[in-house]
């Protein structure tokens, strides 16, 4: 078992998934790109396959965590690079997430992404909740707690039992990794993706995120912490 696999959970992403897959496949260290079509109603699966990905299709929309777990169970690579389906051509920049793991400087790396100029997102409640939870139950401060672009060692994922279900994926993953003593770094990257605005769809999405993160946090509140003491730092700091 060796190498790097890219796992991309996707739901109705036919417009950008092809470009994202091609960019991910251009990363020299990547052996395979797996797209998990999470019950899409459009041509996501066909476009991803045509771009060169291996496609796993779920019968219904089961959420990000379930899609990631399906991809993890169907691959064997030592390093998992999880990325969002809407990165487009900038997905090639996620190669930099691999560097700390390949140099044995980290067990998980997290992308730091800047919001587009002039973008008005939400009010930061979901991010604040996630940051608070990671500090409270993981013992460190993380700059980008909700970043979905991450390189992760398989042994870490197996040790924590895979991905959390729903939208609590990133928060739970970070807390669990820190509690187990794994090393985490954050890597600034020039990535672009579709951002959630302040319309009703955006507020609905953030409401679901808040609910799922709160559920994940409450579950971990009941767990005993194994150990803290690791740090989350910027790569090359």
Domain ranges, ordered by start, for the chain:
4-234
pLDDT tens-digit series, residues 76-85: 999 999 999 9
pLDDT tens-digit series, residues 90-126: 999 999 999 999 999 999 999 998 755 544 455 588 8
Q: 191 with 83: CB under 8 angstroms?
A: no
pLDDT tens-digit series, residues 142-185: 999 999 999 999 999 999 999 999 889 999 999 999 999 999 99
Give 227's contacts (C-beta < 8 A, 6+ positions apart). Answer: 179, 180, 181
* Mean pLDDT estimate for the chain: 89
Give 132's contacts (C-beta < 8 A, 6+ positions apart). Answer: none
Could you name the CATH architecture of 4-234? Alpha-Beta Complex (3.90)
Q: Which of 47, 7, 28, 1 is nearest to 152 (CA)?
A: 7
pLDDT tens-digit series, residues 45-67: 999 999 999 999 999 999 999 99
Torsion of CA 50, 38, 64, 21, to 10 degrees: 0
């Amino acid at each position: 078992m060796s190498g790097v696999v890219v796992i991309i959970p996707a739901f109705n992403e036919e417009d950008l998934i092809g470009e994202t897959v091609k960019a991910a496949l251009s990363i020299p260290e990547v052996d395979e790109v797996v797209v998990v079509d999470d019950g899409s109603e459009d041509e996501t699966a066909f476009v991803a396959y045509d771009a060169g990905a291996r496609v796993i299709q779920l019968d219904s929309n089961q959420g990000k965590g379930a899609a990631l777990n399906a991809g993890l169970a169907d691959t064997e690579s030592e390093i998992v690079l999880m990325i969002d389906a809407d990165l487009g051509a900038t997905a090639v920049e996620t190669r930099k997430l691999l560097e700390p793991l390949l140099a044995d400087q980290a067990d998980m790396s997290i992308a730091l992404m800047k919001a587009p100029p002039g973008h008005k997102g939400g009010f930061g409640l979901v991010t604040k909740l996630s940051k608070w939870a990671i500090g409270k139950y993981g013992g460190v401060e993380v700059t980008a707690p909700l970043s979905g672009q991450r390189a992760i060692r398989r042994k870490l994922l197996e040790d924590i039992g895979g991905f959390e279900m729903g939208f609590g994926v990133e928060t739970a993953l970070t807390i669990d990794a820190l509690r187990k003593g794994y090393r985490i770094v954050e890597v600034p990257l020039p990535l672009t993706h579709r951002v959630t605005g302040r319309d009703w769809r955006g507020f609905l999405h953030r409401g679901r995120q808040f609910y799922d993160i709160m559920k994940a946090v409450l579950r971990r509140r009941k767990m005993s912490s194994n150990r803290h003491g690791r740090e989350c730092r910027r790569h090359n700091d």
